[in-house]
Structure formats: structure tokens, C-alpha cells
Amino acid sequence: MIPGLERAEFIRWGSVHRNTFINSPRLLLDSLQFRRNPRLFFAGQVTGVEGYMESTAMGLLAGINAYRLASGIPAVVPPPTTAMGALVHYIVHTQAAPFQPMNINFGLFPPVRGGGRKRRQLQATRALEDLKRWKEEVLQQ
């Protein structure tokens, strides 16, 4: 049925996976608000993240900020040293063209000094400390 594949042999049937996503660096603020209409938030996979946890994290942040906007409280953004903050920073500030979705990975985190083989452990420890501090600040607002 497909020209050029008349004699193709399929060893295993697969599936086609396609994500629909927006050009977040052009369209979103760090709070996941739409630049042209800050009352509109984007969440989940459509923001340009890959993975269930990543999509859930963007939904959580968009929901928190939508609530805060409705309550007259300023939006919040997690520190870029945390997983959620690193993802937000990537999808909003990446210079990669064309923009492509991303899973969380240590390459998105800001570097730590030294560490050598313990570099990832240092990044994880810093992330947990910064997340705890950020959470305390947000809850005080």
C-alpha cells in the first residue's frame, strides 16, 4: 500500500509515538503562564516535557500558580537547582532550535563545583536542600 515498501518485510509490528507540544521558549513565562494572556496556563506534556513524572510536575506547578493568580498571590517558580525548576528553565529558556521536548536529566541542572565522581550526589543533595528552602518560602507567602 505504501510506494517503495512493496517488498518490505516487517519483523515486528511497532507503534508510532508522537507528542504534540508548543514552542515554550517563545510562548511561556517561567510560571507556565501564556505570555500573551497571563490568565492562561499550560501544563503537562504540551509544555515540552517528556515522561509521566515530568508532565505531572508541570501540571502541579501550573495548578499551584493558577490558584495563586486567582488568590491575588504572585506566581512561584522552583529553583533551577531542583528537578522541577531545571525542567521549567529548560522549556522556557532553551536556545535550542528547533525546540524539542526533554526528560529530566542531570545535564539540565546547574553545575556544582568539584565533586568528580560524586557530582550527581552533590547535585541531588543541593536539589533537596533548595526544594525544602523553597517550599518553606512559598508556604510563608
pLDDT at 71 over 80: yes
* Least trusted range by pLDDT, from 10-19, 64-73, 80-89: 10-19
Domains annotated for the chain, with CATH where assigned, are 24-140 (3.50.50.60)
Report pLDDT digits (tens) over 49-58.
Answer: 999 999 999 9
Q: What's the pTM value of the predicted model, to 2 decimals?
A: 0.85
Which amino acid, one-letter code, is at 25? P
For helices 83-93 and 52-70, give the axis angle rounded to 10 degrees.
80
Compute how many other C-beta atoms are within 10 angstroms of the C-beta atom of residue 73: 13
**CA 58 to each of CA 10, 40, 65, 103: distance values in angstroms, whole numbers, following the listed order:** 38, 14, 11, 12
pLDDT recorded at residue 113: 87
Per DSSP, the chain holds a count of helices (H) and strands (E) of: 4, 2
Cell numbers placing 75: 506566581
Give the best-scoring range by mean pLDDT among 17-26, 88-97, 114-123.
Answer: 88-97
What is the average pLDDT value for the chain, to the nearest integer? 93
pLDDT in the model for residue 9: 81
Q: Is the pLDDT of residue 105 over 90?
A: yes
Report the pLDDT averaged over residues 14-36. Answer: 91
The pLDDT of residue 111 is above 90: yes
Q: Are 134 and 77 in contact (CB under 8 A)?
A: no
